[in-house]
A and B are shown apart, each in its own frame.
Chain A
């Protein structure tokens, strides 16, 4: 089973809201996922797993729906 990761980041490599599938990362931490995707942790403001707030220590599970959000400004 794969893990779905939706990206709302200020990272021009990814389209805003783009979803990617990640394989074979079950039981690894969120920090390891960011490292794998080459996303600096300081650019991520909020992380959710299955719509619940989690942090970098969260252990990924098969079928997870992860979302990464950049800091939100306003205008």
Chain B
């Protein structure tokens, strides 16, 4: 057994029972880890229809077979459970060092069950596990908790924790790792809070041996030598490098996705951030790309610095999409979210929804705690603590934009930019039409990471070359939506769906043959790109089956009405997502996946993937 421990930790917080399971090599080979591991255990062990915030839900922290390896992009892990935000499968991934540290501490995954009577945290030190009292940590911000745990346990620890938002069961609460690496989406922080679990601290141990360390070193050195050439803009400005291009292309979400270009884009760009606020680069274990940024402390702006800098999603969520062109306000919003434990995407897009409701007269200061809210108004910062602590109007916002829209009534739901209950990330399907299909069929609701970013495949070149290794050769226009685009979506999102199982970072542009070589060197398996594609396909079918068992219907594989509206002006004036074309593309996707026209995997498809144990789910 190489590259992983072969040990899964199970902690029942109700009974305080701690056990270790050894699933065996066959399990690891078939599922690899991450999303596949999480979905496997949720399907095997959860009763259908349970309350996501009840003790019967299980929260699973999972590394993958490649997590923690000595190569760029290895420092990621997944956290999953039934989502309180969507009611379906939920998970998210984070980088940093926590996943590597968990594996080094002796475990590939942790399954957390039940609910503690009072607040606790888990301490995992070199294979030893303790459930510790967290009464002194509960209610505190993540920065305060990190300091307190470091004072008590030393600075070598790595901490996954919730903030007050998770404690208060905010439906889009996040899990924060070492203050700046976040599992943000699908409300995993709320699930953690529902279990009275404040933190999981890992330290010590010894990383599992590799099958062929020399071969691993050789393939790893390729990226170390070439990353500046292969990922130049990310190296220079992190994820924020995409903002000028999206704005010029008409796909920068602006004022709650009503527009696609923002007058203040230059003021919130990566260049502006670097000129005024960045004090250095930051990144994940073993990664030379270092896509994160450190922010200088600035007392005049009350910036704290320790939570790092905002990435593209956060800048667009609180910036253009809320009509704000002030980087200090955006950085402060980012810091508040990381200190309180909120997903910046859902928080920002729920706020932008409220702003549009104000604009349309559906809300007023009278029902928003006296706040006069409008696009571009800096008072949005006041909403963030209200959400985290469920104070006043914040209590309604804490349920997410779909729930809030139903509470507001009238036609408010038309302005809630969410899919399956999860707020849409800051990528515009009217610009990237295949992305819209990806949003519709995503197992976790609107998600940009496991998706197609169409402009990358409009012309011959690097991204398309990567797909040629899989047998896809044809460039397509970003604004085409068709069965051909469904095919491109399947191939173009494959690397990203796979990354959620390995668990690796898709910003690091490994070729499929290199990833196969890394798996071979780590584990000793005779893995090929074909096997990697089967791993990817299993993840889509496992999560599909989970959602079907929870009652998902094909009609829910859709996007919100905002994107059927043509832009009124800007570079994409007159452009919308045609619902008929989307429906046709979705049907083509179902059929290409080996599913019925109702989006149900056939028993034969499941058998082909070795998932025949899921047949009872698809037979209803």
Q: Which residues of A approach B to under 8 Å, CB–CB?
A: 8-12, 15-17, 40-43, 45-46, 48, 51, 53, 67, 69-75
Jot down 11 A-B pairs with beta carbons below 8 A, ordered by A. Answer: A8-B244, A9-B233, A10-B462, A42-B460, A53-B571, A70-B233, A70-B245, A72-B242, A72-B245, A74-B451, A75-B506
Give Cα A70–Cα B248 distance, bound, in whole angstroms. Answer: 11
B139-178 interface with A by 8 A CB criterion: none
Cβ–Cβ < 8 Å partners of A10 in chain B: 231-233, 462
- For residue B227, give the distance in angstroms from its CB to the closest CB of chain A: 10
Q: Which of A11, A17, A41, A71 contacts B244 (CB 8 A)?
A: A17
Give Cα A43–Cα B236 distance, bound, in whole angstroms. Answer: 18
Give Cα A70–Cα B463 distance, bound, in whole angstroms. Answer: 12
Closest 10 CB pairs of A and B: A72-B245, A71-B455, A69-B245, A12-B232, A42-B459, A73-B453, A71-B456, A74-B453, A72-B242, A16-B233
Cβ–Cβ < 8 Å partners of A75 in chain B: 239, 312, 448-449, 506-507
Instruction: Using A8-B245, A16-B270, A17-B244 as known contacts, say yes or no to A73 and B456 having CB atoms under 8 A apart.
Output: yes
- For residue B539, give the distance in angstroms from its CB to the closest CB of chain A: 18
Nearest opposing residue in chain B for A45, CB measure:
B455
* Chain B contact residues, majority secondary structure: helix
Give Cα A56–Cα B237 distance, bound, in whole angstroms. Answer: 28
Nearest opposing residue in chain B for A41, CB measure:
B459
Is residue B362 contacting chain A, with contact meaning CB distance below 8 A?
no
Is residue B619 contacting chain A, with contact meaning CB distance below 8 A?
no
B427-483 interface with A by 8 A CB criterion: 427, 432, 435, 448-449, 451, 453, 455-463
- For residue B329, give the distance in angstroms from its CB to the closest CB of chain A: 22
Q: Which of B231, B248, B458, B460 contacts A67 (CB 8 A)?
A: B248
Nearest opposing residue in chain A for B455, CB measure:
A71
Instruction: Using A10-B233, A12-B228, A73-B453 as known contacts, say yes or no to A48 and B248 having CB atoms under 8 A apart.
Output: yes
Q: Mark B600-617, 1 if CB is under 8 A from A, else 0.
A: 000000000000000000
Cβ–Cβ < 8 Å partners of A48 in chain B: 248
Q: Are A73 and B271 in contact, CB atoms less than 8 angstroms apart?
A: no
Instruction: Using A69-B244, A71-B463, A72-B242 as known contacts, say yes or no to A16 and B456 having CB atoms under 8 A apart.
Output: no
Q: Which of A16, A40, A73 contacts B236 (CB 8 A)?
A: A16
A8-B233, A16-B233, A69-B249 known, 18 other contacts, Cβ within 8 Å = A8-B245, A10-B233, A12-B229, A17-B244, A41-B459, A43-B459, A45-B455, A45-B459, A46-B245, A71-B245, A71-B456, A71-B461, A72-B246, A72-B456, A73-B463, A74-B312, A74-B448, A75-B449
- For residue B235, give the distance in angstroms from its CB to the closest CB of chain A: 8
Give Cα A46–Cα B431 distance, bound, in whole angstroms. Answer: 12
Give Cα A63–Cα B267 distance, bound, in whole angstroms. Answer: 24
Is residue B241 contacting chain A, with contact meaning CB distance below 8 A?
yes
Q: Are B461 and A72 in contact, CB atoms less than 8 angstroms apart?
A: no
Give Cα A45–Cα B231 distance, bound, in whole angstroms. Answer: 16
Instruction: Using A12-B232, A69-B245 as known contacts, say yes or no to A17 and B455 having CB atoms under 8 A apart.
Output: no
Cβ–Cβ < 8 Å partners of A40 in chain B: 461
Nearest opposing residue in chain A for B311, CB measure:
A75
- For residue A25, give the distance in angstroms from its CB to the closest CB of chain B: 21
Is residue B269 contacting chain A, with contact meaning CB distance below 8 A?
yes
Q: Are B461 and A42 in contact, CB atoms less than 8 angstroms apart?
A: yes
Cβ–Cβ < 8 Å partners of A53 in chain B: 571
Q: Which of A43, A51, A67, A73 contacts B461 (CB 8 A)?
A: A43
Give Cα A1–Cα B463 distance, bound, in whole angstroms. Answer: 38
B222-266 interface with A by 8 A CB criterion: 228-229, 231-233, 236-237, 239, 241-242, 244-246, 248-249, 251
Q: Which of B237, B242, B270, B460 contacts A73 (CB 8 A)?
A: B242
- For residue A38, give the distance in angstroms from its CB to the closest CB of chain B: 15
Nearest opposing residue in chain B for A44, CB measure:
B459
Give Cα A17–Cα B432 distance, bound, in whole angstroms. Answer: 23
Give Cα A42–Cα B459 distance, bound, in whole angstroms. Answer: 6
Q: Are A17 and B242 in contact, CB atoms less than 8 angstroms apart?
A: no
Q: Are A74 and B233 in contact, CB atoms less than 8 angstroms apart?
A: no
- For residue A23, give the distance in angstroms from its CB to the closest CB of chain B: 24
Cβ–Cβ < 8 Å partners of B461 in chain A: 40, 42-43, 71
User: Max chain B CB contacts within 10 Å: which of A40, A48, A72?
Assistant: A72
Cβ–Cβ < 8 Å partners of A71 in chain B: 245, 453, 455-459, 461, 463
User: Max chain B CB contacts within 10 Å: which of A11, A69, A70, A71?
Assistant: A71
Give Cα A48–Cα B241 distance, bound, in whole angstroms. Answer: 17
- For residue B242, give the distance in angstroms from its CB to the closest CB of chain A: 5
Instruction: Using A43-B461, A70-B245, A72-B249 as known contacts, say yes or no to A17 and B271 having CB atoms under 8 A apart.
Output: yes
Give Cα A42–Cα B461 distance, bound, in whole angstroms. Answer: 7
B198-239 interface with A by 8 A CB criterion: 228-229, 231-233, 236-237, 239
Q: Are A46 and B233 in contact, CB atoms less than 8 angstroms apart?
A: no
Give Cα A43–Cα B507 distance, bound, in whole angstroms. Answer: 18
Cβ–Cβ < 8 Å partners of A45 in chain B: 245, 249, 455, 458-459
- For residue B413, give the distance in angstroms from its CB to the closest CB of chain A: 26
- For residue A59, give the distance in angstroms from its CB to the closest CB of chain B: 20
Nearest opposing residue in chain B for A75, CB measure:
B239
- For residue B41, give the distance in angstroms from its CB to the closest CB of chain A: 27
Q: Are A46 and B228 in contact, CB atoms less than 8 angstroms apart?
A: no
Q: Are A72 and B453 in contact, CB atoms less than 8 angstroms apart?
A: yes
Cβ–Cβ < 8 Å partners of B457 in chain A: 71
User: Max chain B CB contacts within 10 Å: which of A11, A46, A67?
Assistant: A46
Nearest opposing residue in chain A for B460, CB measure:
A42
User: Max chain A CB contacts within 10 Å: which of B229, B233, B271, B463?
Assistant: B233
Cβ–Cβ < 8 Å partners of B463 in chain A: 71, 73
- For residue A67, give the distance in angstroms from its CB to the closest CB of chain B: 6
Cβ–Cβ < 8 Å partners of A69 in chain B: 244-245, 248-249
- For residue B559, give the distance in angstroms from its CB to the closest CB of chain A: 16
Cβ–Cβ < 8 Å partners of A73 in chain B: 242, 453, 455-456, 463
Cβ–Cβ < 8 Å partners of B229 in chain A: 12
Give Cα A53–Cα B246 distance, bound, in whole angstroms. Answer: 13
Q: Are A46 and B242 in contact, CB atoms less than 8 angstroms apart?
A: no
Cβ–Cβ < 8 Å partners of B233 in chain A: 8-10, 16, 70
